[in-house]
Amino acid sequence: MAKRHAFEALEDLSGVASPASKRSRFDDLDSPLDGPTPKEDKPTNGASKGEDDEENELDDELSAPAPVRQAAPTDGYADLYLDTIHRQVLDFDFEKLCSISLSNINVYACLVCGKYFQGRGPKSYAYIHSLDEDHHVYINLETQRVFVLPEGYEVKSKALDDIKYVADPTYTKEDARDLDRVSKTSRTLDGKEYSPGFVGMNNIKENDYLNVVVQALSHVAPLRNYFLLENFSSKTELVRRCSILFRKIWNPRAFKAHVSPHELLQEVSLRSNKKFTLTAQSDPVDFLSWFLNNLHLGLGGSKTKPGSSMIQRTFQGKLKVESQTITARADVGDRLRFEEAADVKVDVARFMFLTLDLPSAPLFQDELEKNIIPQVPLTTILSKYDGRSAQEHHAQRKRYRLLHPLPPYLVFHVKRFSQNKFISERNPTIVTFDARNLDMSPYVEPNPAEHPPGEPIWYDLVANIVHEAVRTREDVADTGEERKTWKVQLKDKATGEWVMAQDLYVDKVQRELLYLGETYLQVWERRRDSKGKDKSLV
């Protein structure tokens, strides 16, 4: 039955049965709404078509043809789709995993929405995403090549160079040399000013212990330049991810004024068997020790040969240890003494950082009924390594003395936390120090062949990691419990100023106020100028 025309009244056709419904064809879209229905073609054998045959025919007509794959863009359309790129949503700091398959093989980032997808073939997740969401521009996170999907051709426009640089920053020797000489100020996409190298780091949950260590190491000049300039494609994944993070911290063309350590954190969690994670607070000293040792091995360093990697050449030094069993002699009463006798055992050990012991905190309040926060000079707790002061360790007394040559960088660990079977205690003693002109010669065994006797050995502070105790609150009631937070103070060698970084917060701090916090880790740089002048001001 033909369709009812618009001018025919329903009352005139009340006794006529309704026509069988049919699916519309694409060819009918151009016909007028009130025109006649096209007649169906009859089969050649005179038999009528079955319903299944008609459905199959219609499905073939409705299915869209697959896009044609192209080896190159159409002439005059090389920049097609580039205006859809949304730089504000791009974030290359996260682990390079497909958001659907969680695979790390052949991963592409969509430059329109920022999501990661695997592959670009006709059956890949990136290809399907391009059809479903109409997002067409993708960058390979390994090769930095940009493709348009679903067509599949490569885009070689210079307009994409800023995105490629943000995804994988590169540096020349001149760039690395000028980092500590020339003060630079850059701007993000939204116009915010920042200084390369002094950017915030995202604290995903409880990973600030890692943030401060990475920030401090990224300002150790020889180590930083090594990770910025060398090619680590043949090294371990931990080394590669550390290099990428260092390069992003010092990126002068970043889209935002902070970086995320998520990619490095995932590898650290895997390699440490979840000892260090982003969800649980850890000790920065424990992480620093693990991190340096694994970087040393990842760079091809030897477990027995000293100075076999950049890590050891930067931080490792030698230490003379004199030890003797504790005895009580009758001629001096019950007083314990370090015997000047042949039974003193002398060993030479190697160290990556030096542990400094704080004096015991007072147990009582002062006359104003306020707790006393004691202070101790850094030189006082460094006397542990003068070769005369003795410490007791497991029924032995030991004396320590540093040996020449001292490493280019010294790392001090101020031991604040002690733990027994019952409780964990924190020593709040403040360590006072001057950020310049630390003379290490009184703590080094004289050796005229290595260093002239009586001449000072100057060190200047580069980074200072500070502990802060924050009381936890449950609803309104104060439980009195404390949780640890960490921040780092960094020296800007180009300007001589100091910058404090705590998670995403970055601000300047006066040099005279550095010691007011609870210093926990310090990195000191040996001054090349032996005349006692601050080389950063020369």
One DSSP character per residue, 476-523 reads: TEEEEEEEEEEEEEEEETTTTEEEEEETTEEEEE-GGGGGGSEEEEEE
* Residues 436-446, mean pLDDT to the nearest whole number: 94
Q: Tokens 């020449």 label which residue?
A: 404
DSSP 265: H
Residue 387 C-alpha from the chain's centroid: 40
Inter-residue contact 19 to 1 (CB < 8 Å): yes
Least-confidence region, from 52-56, 224-228, 230-234, 484-488: 52-56
pLDDT of residue 454: 85
* Residues 275-281, mean pLDDT to the nearest whole number: 92
pLDDT of residue 52: 46
pLDDT of residue 338: 55
pLDDT of residue 145: 94
Which run of H or E residues covers position 400? Answer: strand 396-403
Please determine, for residue 523, whether its predicted confidence score (pLDDT) is greater than 90: yes
**Prediction pTM value:** 0.81
Which run of H or E residues covers position 321? Answer: strand 317-325
* Residues 169-178, mean pLDDT to the nearest whole number: 94
pLDDT of residue 531: 47
DSSP 197: T
pLDDT of residue 393: 76
Banded pLDDT at 351 (limits 50, 70, 90): very high
pLDDT of residue 23: 47
* Residues 355-377, mean pLDDT to the nearest whole number: 75
How many angstroms separate the most distant Cα atoms in the chain?
Answer: 135
pLDDT of residue 480: 55
Banded pLDDT at 36 (limits 50, 70, 90): very low
Among 35-39, 248-252, 396-400, the range of highest mean pLDDT = 248-252
Banded pLDDT at 422 (limits 50, 70, 90): confident
Domains in the chain (CATH in brackets) are 11-62 (no CATH), 82-166 (3.30.40.10), 191-291 (no CATH), 318-351+353-537 (3.90.70.10)
CA dist list (Å): 534 to 153, 239, 530: 56, 33, 10
pLDDT of residue 364: 61
Which is more confident, 342 or 290? 290
Could you read off the pLDDT of 456-485 as tens digits, one per residue? 999 999 999 999 988 766 544 455 567 889
Beta strands per DSSP E along 420-457: 424-426, 430-432, 438-439
Banded pLDDT at 25 (limits 50, 70, 90): very low
pLDDT of residue 370: 59
Tokens of 494: 């180009």
Round the average pLDDT of the chain to a whole number and report it: 82
Which is more confident, 374 or 41? 374
pLDDT of residue 60: 43
pLDDT of residue 240: 95
Please determine, for residue 59, whether its predicted confidence score (pLDDT) is greater than 50: no
Which is more confident, 324 or 407? 407
3 state SS of 224: helix
Least-confidence region, from 6-20, 86-100, 355-369: 6-20
* Residues 294-304, mean pLDDT to the nearest whole number: 93
* Residues 151-165, mean pLDDT to the nearest whole number: 92
Inter-residue contact 514 to 505 (CB < 8 Å): no
Which is more confident, 411 or 76? 411
Please determine, for residue 50, whether its predicted confidence score (pLDDT) is greater than 50: no
**Cα–Cα dist 439/457, whole Å:** 5
Residue 518 C-alpha from the chain's centroid: 24
**Cα–Cα dist 175/177, whole Å:** 5
3 state SS of 284: helix
